[in-house]
Structure 1
Amino acid sequence: MKVLSFMMHGRFSHFCAPYTNVYRLTQPCPTKTAIMGFVGSVLGIEKDDFSLYQKIQCGVEISSEYHTTSIPYLTRQGFPGSAANKKSSRTSVEVIVKPSYRVYIAEENIKEDSILSNIQKLIKQQEPVFTPYLGLAQFIASTDFQISEVVEGKLVKNMDTDVNGAFIRGFHGELDFDKINTLSKEENKLRITEFEGLKGIKSPRDFEHAVFTVNLDGGAVPLKNVKNILNIPAWNKYVPIF
């Protein structure tokens, strides 16, 4: 399996939690749909084309201090020139301030004209087909993608290790509380939270939901009896992929 990584970052981001509407909460990091949308915008893939979900897998790691704030919005029904009720309503959107994520994209059976090589080429040239953004169209992503080279990765299982990135308990392993409880105050930099997100989409529109766990401080998290973890020796990392 081959893998590359790049940065998703900008001034603000919002990855809408699926269970909120009036006060729109954000997920702390992008899940598969947001990452596939980001990659699709680079490659010029239309939003109704779900082929990427079957071709590549991804992982994501928080790389910045996690901080949120609320932005008020006024919404109006109708559009200029319409006869619809133009009554305004106020809503608040939770956004992440100065977000930064390290994204990992993995592909099997890689060929010369692979998805990874096309992503790398377009990002290096800073020529994405569509404009990449961070959850909402008004939150444009930085063009400083910090794209890596394509390196080797290998799936590992049935071992205990520290993983970098968001993971799904059960699907990727379980928290190693024995190890966590032995960490000193200086070593324990875990600020763990859980959130519901999309793990993937099956054709035609079968959405796969999962509960993700992530360290908001971005450090590695001890897991035991892992599976679906990509070992990347070149970067000395174990990354949960989905």
Structure 2
Amino acid sequence: MKSLIFDIYGDFGHFKKYYTTSSPLTFSFPPPPTIKGMLGAIGGISKTEYLKTFRSDKCKIAVRILRPVKKIRMGLNLINTKDNFWIPFKKKNHEARTQVKMELLKDPMYRIYFSHEDDELFNDIVEKVRNHHNVYTLSLGLSEMIADYRFVDVKDAFETGDVETEISSVLPYKYILDNKIVFEDGKKYFKEKIPFDMDEDRVVLDYSDVVYEANGKSIRSYVSKSWVIDDEYVMFF
């Protein structure tokens, strides 16, 4: 299948973990629903439509960490905009602002792999990425964290069977056979549960356990299937 490959990066990023509230923590990479939002911004697909357009039975997405994951804590002032007032002044029984400690990603950079069964839509996204012509502003999770991106290539991805190989992308745990990961010196392995699929009402339909290497290095594993692009093995969600 044809796959669009492009890189996305920025100064800061935040992909909120679903189980944090007052002190938001961030995933180390954008989960699939977030990447679909990025594709929607590039293609000009509205917030109410992109989850339908990029349904999991229609498209495939893989993500690779290109820069070591760096996380910092920063205090952000949230302005009270209730009751139709915007100027940050105190009002009876209301605080003008609330300071929240947030975990942010510093200098994040990812490689996105994208395929879609709709050739017309796929080609439109390819041309927009190639020409750096996104319709809506692209961000890394939050609207304040503006992102940039660059076209890499369009290549064929071929599905493989059972194989032990070096996986370059984030690795969904469900594809690992017999829990077989070859742990190597000098690599930092992490496992997280991420939202995998959402419906059009933004209700999470499914979660996925994933394994990734925090410095962007490959993971050697025995997997039930993978996709090879040139000499690189990636895992699509």
Q: CA deviation at 1:155?
A: 1.4
Select 1:153's aligned residue among 150, 157, 163: 157
Equivalent runs, 1:85-100 vs 2, <5 Å: 85-87=93-95, 88-100=97-109
User: Are 1:66 and 1:99, in contact at CA under 8 Å, matched by a contact in 2?
Assistant: yes
Structure 1: gaps (5+ residues): none
Aligned partner of 1:231 in structure 2 is 228
Equivalent runs, 1:1-242 vs 2, <5 Å: 1-49=1-49, 50=51, 51-53=53-55, 54-77=57-80, 78=82, 79-80=84-85, 85-87=93-95, 88-108=97-117, 111=119, 113-115=120-122, 117-142=123-148, 145-173=149-177, 176-177=180-181, 179-180=182-183, 183=184, 188-202=185-199, 205-207=202-204, 208-227=206-225, 229-233=226-230, 236-242=231-237
Deviations 1:26-59 (A, max 9, x none): 0000010110000000001111212212421111
Q: Under a length normalisation based on structure 2, what TM-score does the superposition of the two structures give? A: 0.87
The total of aligned residue pairs comes to: 227
Q: CA deviation at 1:173?
A: 4.4
Q: CA deviation at 1:81?
A: 6.2
Distance 1:141 1:33 in 2: 17
Deviations 1:119-166 (A, max 9, x none): 121122222110010000000002xx2312321111122121111111
**Residues 206 and 25 (structure 1), Cα distance of their counterparts in 2 relative to 1, 3 Å cut:** closer
Q: CA deviation at 1:194?
A: 1.7
Distance 1:48 1:173 in 2: 37
Deviations 1:200-239 (A, max 9, x none): 1245555211222111111110111332x21112xx1111
> Which protein is richer in strand relative to its size?
2
Q: CA deviation at 1:84?
A: 8.0
Q: CA deviation at 1:199?
A: 0.9
User: Are 1:174 and 1:223, in contact at CA under 8 Å, matched by a contact in 2?
Assistant: no
How well do the aligned residues superpose, as a CA RMSD in angstroms?
2.1
Aligned-residue identity in percent: 20
Q: Under a length normalisation based on structure 1, what TM-score does the superposition of the two structures give? A: 0.85
